[in-house]
Amino acid sequence: MSRQPLSLRALARAIASLAFVATAAGCVVVNAGAAAAPAELFFDDFSYAQPADLAAGGWQLRDGVGHPGLPGGRFSAGAITLLDDPQQPGNRVLRMTATTDGTGPGTVQAQLCHQRKVLQGTYAARIRFSDAPRAGADGDPVIESFYAVAPLAHAFDPDFSELDWEYLPNGGWGSDKTRLYGVSWQTVQIDPWESHNSAHEEFGSFDGWHTLLMQVTRAEVREFVDGRQVALHDGRNVPVSPMTISFNLWFAVGGSLPTGGAQRVYDEDVDWVFHAKDQVLSPADVDAQVRALRAGHIARTDTVPAPNPPLQQRCDI
The Cα 113–Cα 18 span in angstroms is 31
pLDDT tens digit string along 172-185? 988 999 999 999 99
Predicted TM-score (pTM) of this structure: 0.89
Model confidence pLDDT, tens digit, residues 82-104: 999 988 888 999 999 999 998 89
Q: What pLDDT, on the 0 to 100 scale, is given for residue 26? A: 66
**What is the residue-wise DSSP string for 59-118?**
-EE--B--SSSSTT-EE-GGGEEEEE-TTSTT-EEEEEEEEESSSSTT-EEEEEEEEEEE
Nearest to 8 by CA among 30, 36, 27: 36
Q: What is the pLDDT of residue 35?
A: 57
Average model confidence (pLDDT) across the chain: 89
Tens-place pLDDT, residues 290-315: 999 999 999 999 999 999 998 987 89
**What confidence tier does 128 reach under pLDDT thresholds 50, 70, 90?**
very high
Q: Could you give all domains of the chain from N- to C-terminal order, each with its CATH number?
A: 8-302 (2.60.120.200)
